[in-house]
Amino acid sequence: MTGWTKQRVPGMRSAVGDEVVAGVEAFAESWATAIIGTSYVPMTKAEVVDHLRGLTDLLVGALLTEPFRTAAAHEVGIRLVEAHFTGTETLDRTIQLMGDELLGELRRDGDPVLYSRIAALQGALAAGYAQSLRERTLDEQEAIREAVLDARDHAEAALRASEARFRAVFAEAAIGMGISDTDGNVLEVNQSLQDMLGYPASELRQRNLRSLMHEDDVASVWEFYEELVRGERDHFRVEKRFKRRDNQSVWTHLTISLVRDDDGRPAYQVAMVEDVTDRHLLQNRLRYQALHDPLTGLPNRALFLERLGKAFDTSVVSARVGLCYLDLDGFKVINDSLGHDIGDQLLVAVARRLDESVSGDGMLVARMGGDEFVILMEGSTGTQSIVDVADRVLTSLTGPVRIDGHELSVSASIGIVERAIEGTTSADVMRDADITLYWAKADGKSRWALYDPERNAREVARFTLSATMPAALERDEFYVDYQPLVRLEDSKILGVEALVRWQHPEFGRLAPDRFIELAEETGLIVPLGRWVLRKACQQARRWLDAFGDATPFVSVNLAVRQSRDPALVADVRQILAEAALPPHLLQLELTESAIMGTADEPLEALRALSDMGVRIAIDDFGTGYSNLAYLRHLPVHELKIAGSFMEGLRAADGADPVDAQIVSTLVSLAHALGLTVTAEGVETPAQAERLRRIGCDAGQGWLFARPGPPDHIEPLFS
Ligand code: C2E
Ligand code: CA
Ligand code: CA
């Protein structure tokens, strides 16, 4: 440093040179102290002193060098700025320090030339400093500006790229897209949406979303929409229709999403619309196919059940429903004889007639399958309205149906159920309609029957009885009462009729008219009849042991079904053998219909029984199909005149002459054929007296004894 000073100050004397070096050092120290706190510079104090020593050398050099120049001071101003001594007080303190101390440190106070040179150097330093500082500020501003520009370019480019991508997606998307404000004003639509709705974008942008909705939209679509624009939901997805410009409907999957502004308030809505019309039509067709009968085009069972179920879903407490369950009479015959093709055409014709005769809201005609149809009346106003429908339908079927040159007459049976929905179910209605249809058939077909709960209760009881009868037989719930057949002449008991009863655990004691017919229908009459026969024969055997010759025969009723049972003869023989009862102590009662007009086998069986020694009686004679002439060919021993004729013989005088005549004719005819005659249902002594006079052999009835257990009638035997 000292050497540097000597080189830069060549004209200085050597003694003076030493003083200058010390002055420079001292001034640099003071300068550093004065300005170190004015600016932020990344230097230690020692480094600052070092740096300022260099600048002081320059100033001192300029001050002492001839000729005098201020350029070095200008340079010092620049270097101060370059070293970041740019604080607001830096320049001020530097200038002050130069004026106050520089000459003192150089021990040159009082030199007027140096004073003016210092002033010039101060000015040059300040100028250099100011210039440098301005340049630096400008530089910095430019750097910032450039940085800002750079940054903006970047952001814009990124934005442009993302917007371009978005535009491309939006414009070219296969799915329809649209943007609207929260009032529903359309702002943007893409090509797909324009195509889908048939509007150009220009027109769509003038529309409000609401005007594009479909009048048949369900209310929930609107609820979702309002919630969305109020900001209560962020999106919703529905399947709904839009109205195209040509007024056609487009079925869509619509997703609407809400776009919020920076404060979270609803700003826009974005709709994505997928055309699902084809799918929808296909679904509709599949649904139609699933719910309609392909042959007649009528709604099928599934659709009917759906509608019936809905009718029961109503909240209207007083709602009623009416139903006609219809089945063609004798359709099977037509189908089997004329072929399925004609059968099918007949069903189509019937379907058309049904459809034509039934009209109005809440009415549905459906084909249930086969030749069964059903008519549903929702919101029925009462029995009469549905009965009217049934009448109309029956009338509509009266005219012949012409198919392929055939004139087919067709009729139907209809079961009608009409009732309030409350307290019943669709399954109940269907079951009762089915039962009622069966009644219409049983009552003679080509008619309607109306559901009747009492009739149903009777049938249910019948059903219960017939279902429990086999177990009842096993559990010995049946028993036999006996009623005497009394000789009118001397009141001797000739025979005893066995009459079965059922001690039912639930219904109590049941008379045979409650269950014999049922047993005939189910076939249980065969084992039941066999059981009665065995009981009666065993009883007769006990009486034979007790009363010997006075023992009456037992008279056991034989049902039609039993008389046709191939095992009858063998059964009777076996039972007689088991009971060790002589055959002549057994009489079998058969009705006329069981004997006459039948095939040969029953007759042969009767002959075999007769040959065995068993008595055969015709029961309830006069009530059925009577072929008196035929009687002579039959193996019969006794005629039992039905109790209904006794009515006319009731009063001693004033008797019905016709009844009296018939009875007397029957008696003489029977006698002519060698048969004995027993009159049933004898209740009064007058009747008994008249019968006796007519010549009737025996009587049976309450006058003599009510049916009862063996010990009740045994006293009468002797
Ligand atoms: P049924 O063979 O004509 O039997 C006579 C019926 O007349 C009996 O009715 C008897 O109680 C009733 N009766 C007797 N005396 C009088 C009278 O003075 N006045 C009136 N009004 N009725 C009288 P029940 O016991 O109810 O039997 C009804 C029918 O049930 C019988 O008519 C018979 O057809 C059938 N039945 C009874 N037991 C059997 C049986 O074991 N097998 C079969 N297959 N049928 C039976
Ligand atoms: Ca009888
Ligand atoms: Ca009878």
Element (H, E) at 9: none
**DSSP at 37:** T
Q: Within 13 Å of residue 387, how many CA atoms lie on the same side as its CB?
A: 7
Q: Rounded to an integer, what distance in angstroms lies between the CA atom of residue 448 and that of residue 450?
A: 7
Token representation of residue 312: 């029961």
Write the CATH number of the domain with boundaries 292-451.
3.30.70.270
What's the confidence (pLDDT) of residue 638?
A: 95
Average pLDDT of the chain, as a whole number: 89
Element (H, E) at 591: strand 586-591
Atom index in ligand 1 nearest the CA of residue 532 equals: 41
CA 450 / ligand 3 centre spacing (Å):
35
For ligand 3, a single-atom ion, the residues with CB < 5 A are 619-620, 680
Q: CA angle 252-253-258, nearest 5°?
A: 120
Q: Check if 683 has its Cβ closer than 6 Å to any atom of ligand 1.
A: yes
Q: Check if 426 has its Cβ closer than 6 Å to any atom of ligand 1.
A: no
| CATH architecture designation of domain 466-717 | Alpha-Beta Barrel (3.20)
CA 557 / ligand 2 centre spacing (Å):
5
- Residue with the bigger pLDDT between 17 and 257: it is 257
Atom index in ligand 1 nearest the CA of residue 591 equals: 34
Q: Within 13 Å of residue 68, how many CA atoms lie on the same side as its CB?
A: 13
Q: Rounded to an integer, what distance in angstroms lies between the CA atom of residue 595 and that of residue 572?
A: 17
Q: Give the confidence band of 2 by pLDDT, cuts at 50, 70, 90.
A: very low
Q: Rounded to an integer, what distance in angstroms lies between the CA atom of residue 591 and that of residue 618?
A: 5
Tell me the whole-structure pTM to 2 decimals: 0.55
Sign of CA dihedral 561, 563, 564, 565: positive
Q: Check if 357 has its Cβ closer than 6 Å to any atom of ligand 1.
A: no
Report the pLDDT averaged over residues 382-405.
Answer: 95
| Range 4-137 has CATH code 1.20.120 | no
Q: Check if 587 has its Cβ closer than 6 Å to any atom of ligand 1.
A: no
Q: Which fold is adopted by the domain 173-281?
A: Beta-Lactamase (3.30.450)
- The residues, any chain, with a CB within 8 Å of residue 550's CB and separated by 6 or more, are 717, 718
Q: What is the pLDDT of residues 172-218, one digit of tens each?
A: 888 888 999 988 899 989 998 999 999 999 998 898 888 887 877 77
* CB-CB neighbours of 504 under 10 Å: 18
**DSSP three-state, residue 508:** strand
- The residues, any chain, with a CB within 8 Å of residue 76's CB and separated by 6 or more, are 55, 58, 59, 125, 128
Element (H, E) at 272: strand 266-275
Q: Give the confidence band of 14 by pLDDT, cuts at 50, 70, 90.
A: very low
Q: What is the pLDDT of residues 354-381, one digit of tens each?
A: 999 998 888 999 999 999 999 999 989 9
Q: Rounded to an integer, what distance in angstroms lies between the CA atom of residue 293 and that of residue 301?
A: 8
What's the confidence (pLDDT) of residue 368?
A: 96
Q: Give the confidence band of 600 by pLDDT, cuts at 50, 70, 90.
A: low
Token representation of residue 590: 């058969």
Q: Check if 702 has its Cβ closer than 6 Å to any atom of ligand 1.
A: yes
CA 555 / ligand 1 centre spacing (Å):
11
Are both 173-281 and 292-451 of the same fold?
A: no
Report the pLDDT averaged over residues 475-497.
Answer: 97
Q: What is the pLDDT of residues 572-586, one digit of tens each?
A: 999 999 999 999 999
- 616 close to 610: Cβ distance less than 8 angstroms: yes
Q: Check if 638 has its Cβ closer than 6 Å to any atom of ligand 1.
A: no
- Mutate-to-test residue for ligand 1 from 478, 496, 499, highest number of ligand atoms within 8 A of CB: 499
What's the confidence (pLDDT) of residue 654?
A: 61
Q: Is the pLDDT of residue 302 over 60?
A: yes
What are the domain boundaries of the chain? 4-137, 173-281, 292-451, 466-717
Token representation of residue 89: 């007080």
Atom index in ligand 1 nearest the CA of residue 499 equals: 38
Rg (CA), the chain: 63
**DSSP three-state, residue 539:** helix
